[in-house]
Structure 1
Amino acid sequence: MKFRSVFDVIGPVMIGPSSSHTAGAARIGRVARTLFGRQPEWARVHLYGSFAETYKGHSSDVAIIGGLLDYDTFDERIKTSFSEAEKVGMTFEFIPEEEEMDHPNTAKIVIGDSESVMELTGISIGGGKMEVVELNGFPLRLSGNYPALLVVHEDRTGLIASVSNALAKKDVNIAHMEVGRKEKGKMALMVIEVDQLIDQSIIEELKVLPHIIQIATIAD
């Protein structure tokens, strides 16, 4: 594993006690909140491995809820996230699971409201870093270390090239890209991490491409 700076080793500025179990957990929750696009009304958090065993002692539970409230890792409100969630009307439950996962620090977050439900699985990989490994049944790898575009689209020939060309015209460099689909010719997902902040004009240009269903963004 390569580190970009000393802060990748010691972790981010954060509310403790653990970079893996607290900061990483908060970031998983916050990415889920960002992709959902609004404050969820409820959350079910399934915890696996080390998360399931130590989530109360290491404050992984308050960190995940803090993330779902859109708090960053250093936000003091993480400490009181349970009561803050109650203030905004978000209910939640934690479900420790016995199933073994590929990574010991795994959380599956299911959030929703009256309009929709979203399911995200994330892992905390150390130093406050996390990766999203599944979104609504799509396997993927989203690090959260770069600005990112998530493009839900119909599985059509040439669409990946059209999106890539649109980014190239705006001088946006792709750092990492993954594509996945559940079934040939049906719904598919592009995950594109880029080196620059994503301008709204880029999003508007992508939205008008044929067969694009939805676009979400994550800022670095």
Structure 2
Amino acid sequence: MPSRSLVVVSGGLSQPSSTRMLADRLAEATVADLAARGIDTVVEVVELRGLAHDVVDMTLTGYARPDLAAAQSALAGADGVVAVTPVFAASYAGLFKSFVDVLDPEALRDTPVLLGATGGTARHSLALEHAVRPLFAYLHADVVPTSVFAATDDWADAGTDDVKPLPARIARAAAELARRVAAREPVQRGGLYDGVPSFEDLLGG
């Protein structure tokens, strides 16, 4: 059986970040679920922090530098996506939205996507439903029903001995993503951005 590709988008702005931690947990759970179904998974992580300047440059010029173009191509050719953003001012982070803005509108059409977010308190959890989910609905992504929000307190060893809310939600969301990825034919490699010249190429650099 062909392997599947899972692209993990982390919008965390610090290093280390709870956003990357949640993204890694979601990816690990998804890979484990797919492995239980006999499917190997190739994981690629897109750290938006390192692409911030490239994202701004493309916003201004319309052309992607090589690292950003590679991230765009990976998403366009992904069998599944985990996308996690920090929450600021009751919505997704500006860098996260700017990255989505420079994607081709068709890049994630019908692609299974698991959404996650992090924030200081659980009061921000609804940002996933009123801000992030509509954004990916606009892109026609196949967003799984369960999204995962992790507040600062969720990283503590909270809950009863048998019920840990965050791990349980991660497992449920990952199972939903794995099920959708497994049910689809593998994406033919080669994304929307392959063959598109970079800004340096256009300048002869």
- TM bucket (normalised to shorter chain) is under 0.3
Larger RCO: Structure 1 or Structure 2 (Cα < 8 Å, ≥ 6 residues apart)?
Answer: 2
- Calculate the TM-score normalised by the size of structure 1: 0.26
**As a proportion of its length, which structure holds more strand?**
1
**As a proportion of its length, which structure holds more helix?**
2
- Calculate the TM-score normalised by the size of structure 2: 0.27
